[in-house]
Amino acid sequence: MNKLNVSLVSLGCPKNLVDAEVMLGHLPADRFQIVTDETQADIIIVNTCAFISDAQEESVDTILEVADHKKHGRCQMLVVSGCLPQRYGEKLAAELPEVDLFVGTADAPRLVALLDAQLERQGQTTAIGRPDFLYDHTTPRVKSSPFYSTYVKIAEGCGNHCSYCVIPRLRGTLRSRSIESIVAEVRRMTADGVKEVNLIAQDITAYGADRDDGARLEGLLRELVKIEDLHWLRLLYAYPDGISDELIELIASEEKICNYLDIPLQHVDDAILKQMNRRVDEATIRGLIRRLRERIPELTLRTSFIVGFPGETEEQFAKLHEFVNEGHFERVGVFRYSREEGTSAAVMEGQIPERVKKSRYAKLMKSQQRVSFRRNRALVGRVEPVLVEGYSEETELLLRGRCIRQAPDIDGQVYITAGNAEIGDIVDLRITDSSDYDLIGEIVED
């Protein structure tokens, strides 16, 4: 029996990437061959994002683009998985007749059975299960990120219920893995050469709250730092009111935990935060930043903000704008509010015109660009550990990498102008120059 070639396109966040790797892991190697060239694929899977309207549009555009391989290529079956079908189900199926099979965010364990059934029938199938799956260390997974770095999902789902967010509907309520399972997975990955582990969840500070065995993020970190081959442990997506003094102390004192924290704040005005159903206010946010900076002077902070939330006045935006100008964050992501069907914010009064959202977005990004430039310039002359990732896209004469201050995929890079190293090496690098988001430096020879 000839193997079927399968190609997978994963869109959206790193959590989606882990889902994609788990889906591929469920395909038995004696029946399926994973290929990266879509033109050589018999089956193409598009793993989608549906968090905001822009992500939904990207997902649909990608599906239509890939569908061309059914018309003019070898593709026999187009599968759409993840958040988009989980959210829209039969409605999506009616709008995309090009798709053969729709599966949801939690259907990896039955993927082979669904593929087999679809191969035996004609027409379109929608097979979307409940969002209740949680992978563990025994779950097969085909790693697609570089050999030296990976994401590990420590929990699935979310119980925060922010008024603008559809995630609980798409991924279910909070489900945390056991500490033992996470440690076992990280041990296996570091034994295979992984040096950087990025812990992810919708909210990593909520980890363990659903369990009755006492598991919490701080306890998990204490176990993970014992792993000898682990070099960098990065924490992504920490809810501000879940950052305890104990967690701050761990980041400050444990060398393997990167001095980097991603804390999505979304806004700073108290009234807007309340409407968003966030459990913090401006005073809490400022107090948290002060505690973090005092205890971890070398900390790199990333956050995200939403502009144009329903009812956001010019004065409220001006407060947020000034907060960004104060320069608290090395990294800031800005989103224009997306009116998502089924959320409480979607029916709020005072919806903001798109042109106003775009203007506020541009102002905030321009201000943060200046902040980022100043903070990068302050690093010139410093020596920083850098993980070498490969060659520059512009020229193979320059190596590139990331320092601890830069998370994969979302932050800038370091361009290495002098010295030699292998991909995956962690080297000491003296910063010689900088731009708005990137750094330039030379390897410090022993």
CA distance linking residue 37 with residue 69, whole number of Å: 11
Confidence tier at 1 by pLDDT (50, 70, 90): low
Confidence tier at 392 by pLDDT (50, 70, 90): confident
Q: What is the DSSP letter of 13?
A: S
Residues 286-304, mean pLDDT to the nearest whole number: 96
Q: What are phi and psi of 430, to 5 degrees?
A: -85, 125
Pair 357, 316: CB distance under 8 Å:
no
Q: Tens of pLDDT along 167-218?
A: 898 898 999 999 999 999 999 999 999 999 999 999 999 999 999 999 999 9
Q: Which two tokens stand for residue 18?
A: 């882990």
Instruction: Write down the residue that tokens 């979307």 correspond to.
Output: 128
Residues 356-374, mean pLDDT to the nearest whole number: 96
Averaged confidence pLDDT in the chain? 93
Q: What pLDDT score does 66 carry?
A: 87
* 158 annotated as belonging to a binding site for a ligand: yes
CA 276 distance to own-chain centroid: 21
Evaluate if residue 408 carries a pLDDT over 90. Answer: yes
Q: What pLDDT score does 360 carry?
A: 97
101-103 and 77-82 beta bridge pairing: parallel
Local structure of 285: helix, strand or coil: helix
Q: Which residue in 409, 401, 406 sits closest to 16, CA to CA?
A: 409
Calculate the dihedral angle through the C-alpha atoms of 135, 138, 139, 140, rounding to the nearest 10 degrees. Answer: 150
Pair 89, 125: CB distance under 8 Å:
no
CA distance linking residue 67 with residue 98, whole number of Å: 6
Q: Which residue in 64, 108, 112, 119 sits closest to 86, CA to CA?
A: 108
Pick the CATH number of 149-377 from 3.40.50.1100, 3.80.30.20, 1.10.340.30, 3.40.50.300: 3.80.30.20
* 258 annotated as belonging to a binding site for a ligand: no
Pair 53, 87: CB distance under 8 Å:
no
Q: Tens of pLDDT along 17-67?
A: 999 999 999 999 999 999 998 899 999 999 998 877 888 888 888 888 888
First to last CA, the chain: 56
- The per-type count for the chain, helices as H runs and strands as E runs, is 12, 19
Fold match, 149-377 / 383-443: no
Q: Tens of pLDDT along 61-88?
A: 888 888 888 888 889 999 999 899 998 8
Q: What pLDDT score does 54 carry?
A: 82
CA distance linking residue 83 with residue 153, whole number of Å: 17
Type of residue found at 380: V
Type of residue found at 255: E
Domain ranges across the chain: 4-127, 149-377, 383-443
* 75 annotated as belonging to a binding site for a ligand: no
**Sign of the four-CA dihedral 62, 99, 79, 103:** positive
Type of residue found at 7: S
* 13 annotated as belonging to a binding site for a ligand: yes
Q: How many other C-beta atoms are found inside a 10 Å radius of the C-beta of residue 270?
A: 17
With a pLDDT cut of 70, the percent of the chain lying above it is 99
Q: What pLDDT score does 193 carry?
A: 94
Q: Which residue has the higher pLDDT, 437 or 195?
A: 195
CA 161 distance to own-chain centroid: 19
102: β partners: 80, 126
Q: Which residue has the higher pLDDT, 192 or 89?
A: 192
Q: Tens of pLDDT along 235-270?
A: 999 999 999 999 999 999 999 999 999 999 999 999
* 83 annotated as belonging to a binding site for a ligand: yes
Pick the CATH number of 383-443 from 3.30.70.20, 2.120.10.30, 3.40.50.300, 2.40.50.140: 2.40.50.140
Q: Tens of pLDDT along 324-345?
A: 999 999 999 999 999 998 899 9
SS (H, E, C) 31-62: CEEECCCHHHCCEEEEEECCCCHHHHHHHHHH
CA distance linking residue 99 with residue 101, whole number of Å: 6
Tell me if the domain spanning 4-127 has CATH number 3.90.190.20: no
Confidence tier at 446 by pLDDT (50, 70, 90): low
Q: What pLDDT score does 366 carry?
A: 96
* 162 annotated as belonging to a binding site for a ligand: yes
Pair 39, 69: CB distance under 8 Å:
yes
306: β partners: 335
